Structure 1
Amino acid sequence: MRNTVWAAISLLACTALAQAAPLKVALITSKSHPAFEAYARQTEAGFMLGLEYLTQGTMMVEGRKIVVINKDDQGKPDMAKALLTEAYVDDGADIVVGTTTSGAALAMLPVAAEMKKVLVVEAAVASDITGKFYNRYIFKTSRNSFHDACAGAAATMAPASLAFLAQDNVFGKDGIAAARDCLSKMGSKAKVVHEEYAPPASTDFTAPGQRLIDALKKAPEPRFLVVAWAGSSPVNKLANLQPGRYNITLVPGGNLLPVMKGWSAYAGSEGSLYYYYDFPTNAMNRWLVAEHKKRFAGTPPDFFVAGGAAAASAVVQALRATKGSSDTEKLITAMEGMNFETPKGTMTFRKEDHQAMQPMYHFRIKAKDKQKNEWDLLELVREIPANQLPIPVNNKP
């Protein structure tokens, strides 16, 4: 009898120790990538701020201390694969979050499947992550190309002629294909008359810009030249070609705050974007804005800070739902269909493909004389609810 009692006590003690073991979360970003360093650093800042908010500063979930392991894949697919394997095998990561670029994220997907471990994708955008190359271990908090495209379509329902300039990479091509699909599905009367793709490192946009203008100037008015570009925007260089001579309006896509500061010259132009600090009105966003301003010299949180915080929320909410267990099957069961609070409001992991469904925003650019401060750049036309964005499920044969 005594041996039985001691065995039971020993088992309880071991169980308590196991539950108290640190929860290891690896965060993989592309901090050394020259074009996306800012995105990566914002994601990291947002992830840590999100964990702080959600745990009330304790960094504890269900009795387990969260330990974050940061890794830099430099935006290289091979390195991303290697670092993900390292995180799961050598570091013993319970969950991994990453990465910044779509090419690197796509390379990581088979590793998660092979290891049978959860990978939360943030901030890569390509729709193929939860589409053609989906596997059940992938949960994507970042928007995908169809969020951008369908939000853009929602902001452009009236008759218009559109031409697109995008990067010649996965992000650019995926985005424009999605734009065509959304315009059609949502019944927009706008028509795409031309597309141009330029290398991501381009500095001279004279030739593609002129081709865009030549195509648009023959098309029915109103005429819009839409720029879908990650990183430093070519909008001002396109403006030097004077498209206004042909009643062509430049439409900058959503971008980082420092980039958007130069947009007052396009006051009145409208577009759509993932996040702007002044648009959401929920408690998490209010805290994030206030804390980011305190810690980062008065600057509000940017695009990818919100994304990092959303990923943190998904991790914390999943662990709360599993009572602190990081068992893969328990996590998947908890996360499929899971609602979680973010700076944008409630997101939901769709059961079919694990894409986080989320609102987007239709904005109008403010004139300089209407801005209250250097970061008062946009006004909200409307929030576009998640249920008004027909994001397709593309992971079926």
Structure 2
Amino acid sequence: MSQSTQSNAIQSVRTQNFSRTGWFPIILVTLLLNSAWADSPRPIAVALLEDDTPVFRDYTEEQHLGFLLGLEYLTEGSMEWQGRPVSAHPVPAGGWFRDENYLPDAHELPDFSIWIAPVQARYAHRAMQYGQAYQRLTLVPASPANQLPVAQYDLAFRTFYRWQDVEAGLYEWASEQEDLIWVSAVDSSVRPDFFRVANIDVSPRSSGASVIAEVDDLARLMKNPALGSTWPVLLDWLPMLSDDVGLASQNMYFWLPDLASLVPLREFSGLQGLTYYYYDLPNNDANTWLVRTMLERHDRLPSHYVVAGMTAAMALLTAVAEADTVDAEQLAAHLPDMAWDSPRGVLSFTAAGETRQPLYRTELRLQRQLEWARPVELDGQGPYWTQP
């Protein structure tokens, strides 16, 4: 055998031996790394869908602030949950939000399995539609509109209150009065008992003065008239209802949607108010932490949109911990009947994607050191639970 042939033969043997033994450690390491990667929990990555239109921009920022605070609260600042890294990614609303005639492809949508819907109802609705079509779990923290059809979508869940629940809760409470005047919107989901309740329908074209005149006419026919209303405009006419119509504060029942609405009510101690949150109601650890953190970092109390965002974050992390997945469809299948803690107390989802939550019967009290009227839960009343 020539020296050249012998050299080639030796090289061939070495190559064969390496193919048998030399590649094995590399393949083994690769398989182990792939196995470890496959076994490691997938990160919790969330798209915060931003609405930058006037008015709703501020609400959206508040909601997303609350969501981030909720992540921080449950992860104790580590941004890691059950071994999974947690992150939230602001995503500006593009053409697929704004243009009703534009149908995006999947690659144009946020590439995260979990979406937080915008505050504005029509944008939240569109997010739910696309989320359902492309398998994104969509949480709706702050869109109380009556006609937002969460139940049509298996992957959509609303963590905020529904307006029809507010109406039902306030009406159930106010109708305990013998003589009730009920003021409601034309598209109200509550239909009063016309044999016992005098009903006044209002529309966007109704003026407060015209409604006051109708209330006055009806009140004159009643022995002890009471008034119930979810129409926010009527709060501006409380002085006239009190002074001219003669309704006592304790005989008026209103929805108290946020802290700002309590400022003009400071002079109406005794007014009956239904609310789903106040900064010291309910009294629980999550609410205490939220209030303290907002005061320390922002020198203000949390708005309802901040509370809504934090509630959504706590629902999501609870679901991930219990279902041990971030897959949209598996999470959606797990969410119905799941209970979770929130600044508003213990909540749970219905099969239709709505939230069972407490609404509190309160009475406004005057505290001179405050610039607003303080709602205090009435003893022995207990909360009104939505979506039984």
Same-fold status (TM-score > 0.5)? yes
Does the Cα contact within 8 Å between 2:138 and 2:156 map onto a contact in 1? Answer: yes
Unmatched 5+ stretches in structure 1: 393-397
Aligned to 1:24: 45
Query: Identity of counterpart residues, as a percentage?
Result: 19
| Distance verdict in 2 for CA 1:118–1:15, change over 3 Å | same
Cα separation, 1, equivalents of 2:52 and 2:224: 43
Rounded Cα–Cα distance in structure 1 between residues aligned with 2:161 and 2:381: 14
Deviation at 1:384, TM superposition (A): 6.6
Question: 2:388 matched to 1:389?
Answer: no
Aligned to 1:105: 124
Give the count of matched residue pairs.
361
Select which of 125, 148, 153 maps to 1:135.
153
Does the 8 A contact of 1:84 with 1:96 survive in 2?
Answer: no
Q: For residue 129 of structure 1, give the secondary structure of its aligned residue in structure 2.
A: coil
Provide the rounded CA distance (Å) in 1 between the counterparts of 2:373 and 2:81: 36
2:255 aligns to what? Answer: 253
RMSD: 3.5
> Shift of the alpha carbon at 1:360?
1.1
List per-residue Cα deviations over 1:270-307 (Å, max 9, x = no partner): 0201111111111111111111111121x222322211
Question: Structure 2 residue aligned with 1:52, among 55, 66, 72?
Answer: 72
Tell me which amino acid in the other structure corresponds to 1:247: G
Q: Deviations over 1:52-78 (max 9, x none)?
A: 10111011223333222224659x995
Who is 2:167 aligned against? 149
Query: What residue in structure 2 maps to residue 334 of structure 1?
Result: 334
**Distance verdict in 2 for CA 1:302–1:85, change over 3 Å:** farther
Q: What is residue 318 of structure 1 aligned with on the other side? A: 319
**Is contact 1:361–1:383 with CA below 8 Å preserved after alignment?**
no
- If the length of structure 2 is used for normalisation, what is the TM-score? 0.80
* Partner SS state of residue 143, structure 1: coil
Q: Please tell me the residue identity of whatever aligns with 1:9.
A: L
1:197 corresponds in structure 2 to 203
The answer to whether 1:206 aligns with 2:209 is yes
- The answer to whether the 8 Å contact 1:87/1:96 transfers is no
Distance 1:346 1:66, change over 3 A: same
Q: Which residue of 1 aligns with 2:371?
A: 374
Taking the aligned partners of 2:220 and 2:131, their CA distance within structure 1 comes to 48
Does structure 1 retain, via aligned residues, the 8 Å contact 2:65–2:306? yes
State the AA in 2 paired with 1:197: S
- Can you give the 5+ residue segments of structure 2 that lack an aligned partner in the other structure? 1-20
Question: Which of 245, 266, 291 is matched with 2:268 structurally?
Answer: 266
Listed one character per residue, the Cα deviations across residues 312-371 of structure 1 (whole Å, up to 9, x for unaligned) are: 111111221233x32122212321221111011111111x2121111111111122xx34
Q: What is the CA-CA distance between 1:7 and the residue it aligns to?
A: 5.6
* 2:184–2:230 contact (8 Å) kept in structure 1: yes
Once residues 278 and 30 of structure 2 are traced to their aligned partners in structure 1, the CA distance between those partners, rounded to angstroms, is 57
Alignment partner for residue 91 of structure 1, among 92, 104, 110? 110
> Deviations for 1:33-55, whole angstroms, at most 9, x for unmatched residues?
32x45533332221111111011
AA partner of residue 8 (structure 1): L
Post-superposition shift, 1:262? 1.4
Q: What CA distance in whole angstroms lies between the structure 2 residues aligned with 1:77 and 1:213?
A: 49
Aligned-partner Cα distance in 1 for 2:128–2:241: 44
After TM superposition, the runs of 4+ consecutive aligned structure 1 residues lying more than 6 A away are: 80-88
One-letter amino acid of the structure 2 residue matched with residue 91 of structure 1: P
Name which of 160, 169, 179 aligns with 2:179: 160
Alignment of 1:221-240 (within 5 A): 221-224=224-227, 226-229=229-232, 233=233, 235-236=235-236, 238-239=237-238
> Quick check: 2:314–2:340 contact (8 Å CA) kept in 1?
yes
User: Aligned residue for 1:355?
Assistant: 354
Amino acid at match of 2:49: I
Asked if 1:12 is matched to 2:8, the reply is no
